[in-house]
Structure 1
Amino acid sequence: MIEDEAVGARIAQIRKTRGLTQAQLSQKAHVGRAYLARVESGDASASTVWLAQVAQALGVDSSRLSGPQDSAEQLHQLVPTIRRALASTDLYDDGIELLPLDQLRRQVVQLGEWRRDTKYDKIGAILPDLVEQLLTAGQEHGEPAYALLADAYRAGNTLAHKLGYSDLSLTAMDRMEWAADRSGDPLLVATSHYLRAAALARIGAGKHALRLLDRTMIAVEPLIATDGNAAAVWTALHMRAGVIAASLADKSASEEHLSEAAKVAAGVGDRVVYETVVGPTNVKLHQIAAQVDLLQPGKALKTAETVDFTDRIAAERQTYFHLDVARAHLLNKRPDEAIEELYTSRVLAPQHFRASATVKNTIRAAAAQQRRASSSLRALANYAGIED
C-alpha cells in the first residue's frame, strides 16, 4: 500500500506534464483550487465525481488517476453477467417459459433490496435470466412489465458503476430509459434521469448532468399536486443536483438545491420511492457529501452529529455516510478517526467496500497522513484489494 502511488501524486504528475498550474487546472476542471491542492498533497480524499472532472480536464480516463479498480475476484467475475444482461432489448426467446408477472415482481423487489444492501453477488446470480423474462413479459403484459424491467436495468447499472465500468453504466442507463419510456410512468422516467445524471457526473460531464436534472425537475414539479410520490422524486433530483454542484465548487447552487430538498423531504419521510432512498435523513447524508467537497469539514461533521439511523436506512446509504465522515476527518488531518469510519463502512457493506474507488482513495489519503501506516490501515487496504 505504501508503494502504491496516491491519487494526488498522479494528478500532480500529469498536471505538470500538461504544463498546468493548480490554478489553471482548477479553472479548467471547474473544481476548487484549495481542494485540488489538498488532494495533491494527500490531505483530502477525492470523490469519484470530483476525480472525473479533473480527469476530463487533464484529457485522461479517471482510472488513470485512481489506479486499478480490480475488485475481489468474486465481484470482478460479475462483469460478463452484466454484459449479458444488457446485451439487447429486442432478442426475445419465443420458447421461454414465462413466469407469472406477480412472481417476476417479487424478484424485482428482492433485487432492489439486495442493491440497497450492497449484495452484488446475489444480483449477478439472477439478473440476466430475470431481464430475459421481463423482456418477453413486456410483449405480453406491456407497461407493468416494462416498469419492472427498468428497475432490473437499474440493478445492472449499480453493478457496472460499483465495479468501475463507466461504459457499462451508461449502457444500463440507456436500457433503463428505454424501458421507463415504455412503462407509461413519467416519474419512473424522471428517476432514470436522476440515475443518468450520476452516470454523467462520473465521466466528468457534471454540467450536462445539472442541465438534465433542471429539465427533469421542471417536468416533475407540476405532478406534485396530484401524485404523492412526485414530491419524493423531486426531492431526490434536488439532492443529486446539490452534490454534483458541490463537486463543481458551486457552493451557492449546491446549498440552494439541498435546501429545497430539505424543505420537501420533511413531508416525504424516510422511505424508498421508485427504488430510491428519500427523506430527511438522506438529505443530510447528501449535505455531508457536499460539505466535504466544498472544503467544509467542520460543517460536515456537525451535520453528521444530527444523523439518526434508528429508522432503517439502506446499508448503501449508511456506508456512504461513514466514507464521507472519514473524508471530513482527513481534511482535519485526523487519520485515526478516518480509519475508524472506514472500519464501520467495511462492516456495513463489505462488497461495496471492496469495489469502491472512493474507499481506495480514502485509504491512500489516510496512509499519506500517517508517518507509518498502522496495522489497522494496512488491514483495510488489503481487504480493499490495495497491495501492500
Structure 2
Amino acid sequence: MDATETVGARIARYRKLRGMTQEKLAAAANVSRSMLAQVERGHSSASTVWVGSVARGLGVDSSRLYGSEEAEQVLNVLPILRRSLAAVDLADPDLEPLPLDQLRALSGKVAVWRRDARYRKITEVLPDLIDQLLIAGEHGQPVYGMLCAAFRAANTVAHKSGFTDLSLTATERMEWAATRSGDPLLLATTHYVKSATLARVGASGQALRLLLRAMSEMEAFVDEDETAAAVYSLLHMRAGTIAAAAGDADAARSHLAEAEVLARRFGDRIVYDSPVGPANVKLYQVCAEVDLGEPGRAREIAAATHLPDEMPAERKAYFWVDAARAHLLAGDVDAAVDALAESRLASPEHFRSSPAVKNVIRTTAQQQRVAGHGLRALANAAGIQD
C-alpha cells in the first residue's frame, strides 16, 4: 500500500510548487496553520470542507488533492449522472407516465438507499425516475418534492464519485424543484445540502451566508413548529462544521450548542430525508472538534455517543471515520484502525467509495510505519491496491 500519497502529502507538494509557506497558505485558505501542519505531516486527516478551503487557497480543484480512485467505477457512473442532470425542460413527450403512487413508492426507496449508502441501487433507477417525474407535472407540487429528493440522490452519488461540478449542478436542480414545491422547509433543507457542496469547493463564505439567510427566513415559526425546529437544527449543524473548518471555535461551538438545545425537543428521527436529533448533533460535534485540532474533546464526545439502531448507515459510517480522525490526531493508531473497521461494518459501499475514507487509511498507514494485517485488509476493502 502506498502510504505516502495522502491528502497532506499532496497539499505540501502543491504548496511548495507555488512557493507558499504554511503561514501563507493557511491565511489564503482561512484555516489554522497548526492544523495545516498536522495534516501535511500525516498526523491528522481533515474533513472534506477543510480540504475544500485549502484547495481554494492553492488554486486547485479539491479532486487534485484526493487523487483518482476506481476509474472503471467512475466511468460507469459518469454518464448516468450526466443523463440524470441534463435538463429539466426537455422531457420526452412520448414517455408513458407511471401512476403517482408508483412514483411515490420508488422515490421513497431511492431516499432510503441514499441514507443507507446504496449508491449502485440508486444509479440503476435514477435517470428513468427523473424522466418520469419531469413529465408528471399535472400532479403539481408533490412531484417537485419527489424531484428534489431524486436530485439530492444524484448529488450524493456525484459527491461520492468525486464529480464536484455535477454535485453543484445537482444542488441547483434541488433548489429549482424545492422552490416549485411550495414547501419552505424543503427549500431550507436544500440549502443545508447546497451549503456543504459550496464548502467542499472552497466557497465557505458563500455557504455560511446561505445558511444564515435560510435561518433568518424561517426563524419566526421555529418555536411553534417542531418540524421547522428540526430543519433549523440541521442548518446550525452545518454552519458549525463549516465554521470549525475555518478555525472559528466560538462560532462552531455556538452553532452546535444551539442545534443540541433544539434537538431535545424532537429526539432522534428522520426529517426531510435527513437524520436529526441529539445523536446526530454529537456526530457533527466530533467532526468539528477534529477540524479545530481538539482530539481530546472529539474522543470524549465520540466515547459518550450512542448510535441509535435506526440511524442511517451513511451517518454511522461518517461517525466512525471522524472518530478515526480524532484517534489519529491523538496519536492512537490502533484505535483509529478499530474505528475504521466499524465504519466498514456500518456501510461497506460508503467505505469503498469515499475519498475521505481512503485518505484516513493512508494517513493511518503513514503513522503505523508498517501496515498491519488489519489495516491492509481495510485498505483492500476501500479499493486501495498494495
**TM-score of the aligned structures, taking structure 2 as reference length:** 0.97
SS in 2 for 1:229: helix
For the 8 Å contact 1:223–1:230, the answer to whether it is kept is yes
What do residues 1-58 of structure 1 show as CA deviations (whole Å, max 9, x unaligned)? 2365222222112212222211111111111111111111110012211111111101
2:123 corresponds in structure 1 to 124
Deviation at 1:147, TM superposition (A): 1.0
For the 8 Å contact 1:118–1:351, the answer to whether it is kept is yes
What is the alpha-carbon distance in structure 2 between the residues aligned to residue 124 and residue 342 of structure 1? 26
Match of 1:214 among 198, 212, 215: 212
Deviates more, 1:271-280 or 1:306-315: 306-315
What do residues 87-108 of structure 1 show as CA deviations (whole Å, max 9, x unaligned)? 1101122222212212211111
1:277 corresponds in structure 2 to 275
For the 8 Å contact 1:75–1:120, the answer to whether it is kept is no
For the 8 Å contact 1:2–1:373, the answer to whether it is kept is no
Match of 2:303 among 301, 305, 317: 305
For the 8 Å contact 1:127–1:152, the answer to whether it is kept is yes
1:15 corresponds in structure 2 to 15
Mapped pair 1:29 → 2:29: yes
1:330 corresponds in structure 2 to 328
What do residues 96-136 of structure 1 show as CA deviations (whole Å, max 9, x unaligned)? 22122122111111111111110001111111111011111
2:79 corresponds in structure 1 to 80
Structure 2, unaligned runs of 5 or more = none
When residues 37 and 4 of structure 1 are mapped into structure 2, their CA distance, relative to the original with a 3 A threshold, is: closer
What do residues 152-192 of structure 1 show as CA deviations (whole Å, max 9, x unaligned)? 11111110001110100011011111111110111111111
- Trace 1:227-266 onto structure 2 (pairs within 5 A): 227-266=225-264
2:347 corresponds in structure 1 to 349
Amino acid at match of 1:245: A
Deviates more, 1:99-108 or 1:155-164: 99-108
For the 8 Å contact 2:279–2:308, the answer to whether it is kept is no
2:338 corresponds in structure 1 to 340
- Trace 1:1-388 onto structure 2 (pairs within 5 A): 1-2=1-2, 4-70=4-70, 73-74=72-73, 77-138=76-137, 140-388=138-386
For the 8 Å contact 1:363–1:377, the answer to whether it is kept is yes
Deviation at 1:346, TM superposition (A): 1.0
What is the alpha-carbon distance in structure 1 between the residues aligned to residue 35 and residue 174 of structure 2? 35
Moved over 4 A (4+): 73-76
Amino acid at match of 1:298: G
SS in 1 for 2:270: strand
When the two chains are superposed, the root-mean-square deviation of aligned CA atoms in Å is 1.4
Deviation at 1:311, TM superposition (A): 4.3
Amino acid at match of 1:45: S
What is the alpha-carbon distance in structure 1 between the residues aligned to residue 254 and residue 309 of structure 2? 26
For the 8 Å contact 1:30–1:248, the answer to whether it is kept is yes
Structure 1, unaligned runs of 5 or more = none
When residues 5 and 310 of structure 1 are mapped into structure 2, their CA distance, relative to the original with a 3 A threshold, is: closer
For the 8 Å contact 1:288–1:324, the answer to whether it is kept is yes
What do residues 129-148 of structure 1 show as CA deviations (whole Å, max 9, x unaligned)? 1101111112x111111111
Amino acid at match of 1:79: L
SS in 2 for 1:272: strand
What do residues 282-308 of structure 1 show as CA deviations (whole Å, max 9, x unaligned)? 001000100111111111111112211
What is the alpha-carbon distance in structure 2 between the residues aligned to residue 107 and residue 195 of structure 1? 22
When residues 22 and 74 of structure 1 are mapped into structure 2, their CA distance, relative to the original with a 3 A threshold, is: closer
What is the alpha-carbon distance in structure 2 between the residues aligned to residue 305 and residue 5 of structure 1? 30
For the 8 Å contact 2:145–2:177, the answer to whether it is kept is yes
Using the aligned pairs only, state the percent identity.
55
Amino acid at match of 1:11: I
What is the alpha-carbon distance in structure 1 between the residues aligned to residue 356 and residue 18 of structure 2? 25
Deviation at 1:235, TM superposition (A): 0.4
What is the alpha-carbon distance in structure 2 between the residues aligned to residue 193 and residue 78 of structure 1? 25
What do residues 249-272 of structure 1 show as CA deviations (whole Å, max 9, x unaligned)? 110110010011011111021111
Deviation at 1:231, TM superposition (A): 0.6
What is the alpha-carbon distance in structure 1 between the residues aligned to residue 345 and residue 110 of structure 2? 21
SS in 2 for 1:252: helix
What is the alpha-carbon distance in structure 2 between the residues aligned to residue 115 and residue 62 of structure 1? 23
Amino acid at match of 1:122: K
